Amino acid sequence: MVGQAVNRARVVLLVLLLATSPCALAVDSVTLADPAQQARYLALTHEIRCVVCQGESIADSNADLAADFRRQVREMLIAGKSDQEVRDYMVARYGESILYKPPFNVRTAWLWLAPGILLIVGAIVAVRIQRQRAALVDQDNEPLEEDVRS
Amino acid sequence: MKIGKFLIPLGAFVLLAIVLAIGIKHSPEKGVIASPFIGKAAPQFSLPDLSQPTKSITTADLKGRWYAVNFFGSWCYACRQEHPTLMEVSRSRVLPIIGFDWKEQADSANEQDDLGRAFLNQLGNPYTLVLADRDGRTAINYGVTGAPETYLVNPEGVIVYKLTGQITKEIWEKEFVARVQGKPDKS
């Protein structure tokens, strides 16, 4: 039993190591001196889209332009800018699509609300269909009528 | 009643089709991010002149006249392709074209100069002024995504047009010359 547990622990460890190895080979090797700034830097660079790559944040991309973006974020943080000031700077130059998480406003409301609305509509439809089917089963279970039995 | 039920999914389908059709029709060129900078002041910069690295040029030096800003680099293949067109349109002298030599890549500063200059020596120089944006800070300030990119700036220092990709004679006439000559308020 103990051997089994050890084996299981080894497997878990192996999976964890494999899962985290890409992080060890991270694109971005620069670390900010202040840990709080470093945390904000990491969060921001994962939030900003790399404009020359498909589906990558500037934290994950080794494109030249992404490196320039990271430097820009770094310098702004060191200069004491807030996270929102960094976002605003990028949005002012590259548009809202530069952010992975689009802001909630009148223009993007449908984008945020549509999945929820569709889910509710789907749930209502599913419940109604289920009830109708259940009703059919009840009808089926009624005793056979006289004329059929005879 | 029965027919009504069939109409609901059909109606939903038609609605979806209309929404998607509008989306496709109005979607801008895919992959191209429209510049939110149009109608806003051109970003501030202070960059060394490519041919005289000790001399630096700022946004203020260019104010008071129309000018085009062209981001290029000797490393950029599309810029090489675009170059003959720039040479041709620059001969009309309608407006000065300011070249931003973007991220010339080399080991030493001197070599960097040489690559940008060698490019212009070899293919000709269509620019009134060439500035060296070696670290790419000015490019990010302008919202550049890739070379070549060309901006049109009016005498008030406001960006009125941006082109991503190679310029053609038609685009030059229609988007640049037309705005400079008499139709500045078009945009």
Give A17's pLDDT tier (boundaries 50, 70, 90).
low
Question: What is the Cα–Cα distance from B48 to B59, expressed in whole angstroms?
Answer: 12
Contact call for residues B171 and B151 (beta carbons, < 8 A): no
By the CB < 8 Å criterion, does A123 face chain B? no
Helix axes A64-78, A35-47, angle to 10 degrees: 140
Contact call for residues B111 and B144 (beta carbons, < 8 A): no
For residue range B67-77, list pLDDT tens digits in order. Answer: 999 999 988 89
Determine the residue among B33, B44, B133, B137 to mutate to test chain A binding: the one whose Cβ has the most chain A Cβ atoms within 10 Å: B33
Name the pTM for this structure: 0.70
Give how far B91 is from chain A: nearest CA, Å: 31
The type of residue at B49 is D
The type of residue at B182 is G
Determine the residue among A53, A71, A94, A124 to mutate to test chain B binding: the one whose Cβ has the most chain B Cβ atoms within 10 Å: A94
Q: For residue B39, give both structure tokens.
A: 């109608």
By the CB < 8 Å criterion, does B12 face chain A? no
Question: What is the Cα–Cα distance from B106 to B178, expressed in whole angstroms?
Answer: 39
Interchain contact, A93 vs B135, CB within 8 Å: no
Interchain contact, B33 vs A52, CB within 8 Å: no
For residue range A28-62, list pLDDT tens digits in order. Answer: 777 887 888 889 999 999 989 888 887 888 888 88
Give A23's pLDDT tier (boundaries 50, 70, 90).
very low
B103: pLDDT strictly greater than 50: yes
For residue range B14-29, list pLDDT tens digits in order. Answer: 999 998 888 887 765 5
A1: pLDDT strictly greater than 70: no
Residue that wins the pLDDT comparison between A103 and A122: A122
Each as own residue / partner, the long-range contacts of residues B77-82 (CB below 8 Å, 24 or more positions apart, any chain) are B78/B147, B78/B148, B78/B165, B78/B166, B79/B147, B79/B148, B80/B119, B80/B123, B81/B166, B82/B148, B82/B166, B82/B167
Name which of A8-17, A112-121, B85-94, B160-169 the model is least confident about: A8-17
Predicted confidence at residue A21, as pLDDT, reads 52
> Is the N-terminal amide bond of B148 cis, ω within 30° of 0?
yes
DSSP state, residue A62: -
B94: pLDDT strictly greater than 90: no
> Taking CB atoms and an 8 Å cut-off, how many pairs form between chains A and B?
38
Phi-psi region at B134: left, alpha or beta (left = phi > 0; alpha = psi -120 to 50): alpha
Predicted confidence at residue A24, as pLDDT, reads 43
DSSP state, residue B175: I
What is the Cβ-side half-sphere exposure of residue A59, based on CA atoms within 13 angstroms?
A: 17
Question: What is the Cα–Cα distance from B149 to B72, expressed in whole angstroms?
Answer: 7
Interchain contact, B103 vs A64, CB within 8 Å: yes
A70-99 residues touching B, CB cutoff 8 A: 72, 91-95, 97-98
Give B3's pLDDT tier (boundaries 50, 70, 90).
low
Percent of chain B with pLDDT over 70: 86
* Sign of torsion over alpha carbons A102, A108, A113, A119: negative
By the CB < 8 Å criterion, does A61 face chain B? no
End-to-end CA distance of chain B: 54
B118: pLDDT strictly greater than 80: yes
CB < 8 Å to A52, chain B:
145-146
DSSP state, residue B177: I
Average model confidence (pLDDT) for chain A?
81
- The 10 Å CB-count burial string (b at 16+, else e) for B28-39 is eeeeebebbbee
Q: Which of B40, B142, B145 sits opposite A51 (nearest CB)?
A: B145
Interchain contact, B137 vs A69, CB within 8 Å: no
Provide the ipTM: 0.74
For residue range B40-72, list pLDDT tens digits in order. Answer: 888 888 888 888 878 888 888 888 889 999 999
By the CB < 8 Å criterion, does A31 face chain B? no
Average model confidence (pLDDT) for chain B?
84
Q: Are strands B129-133 and B97-102 parallel, antiparallel or unpaired?
A: parallel
Of residues B62, B125, B78, the one with CA closest to residue B99: B125
Question: What is the Cα–Cα distance from B77 to A128, expressed in whole angstroms?
Answer: 61
Give how far A62 is from chain B: nearest CA, Å: 15
- Residue B186 dihedral angles phi and psi, to the nearest 5°: -60, -40
The residue with tokens 């992404």 is A66
Question: What is the Cα–Cα distance from A110 to A117, expressed in whole angstroms?
Answer: 10
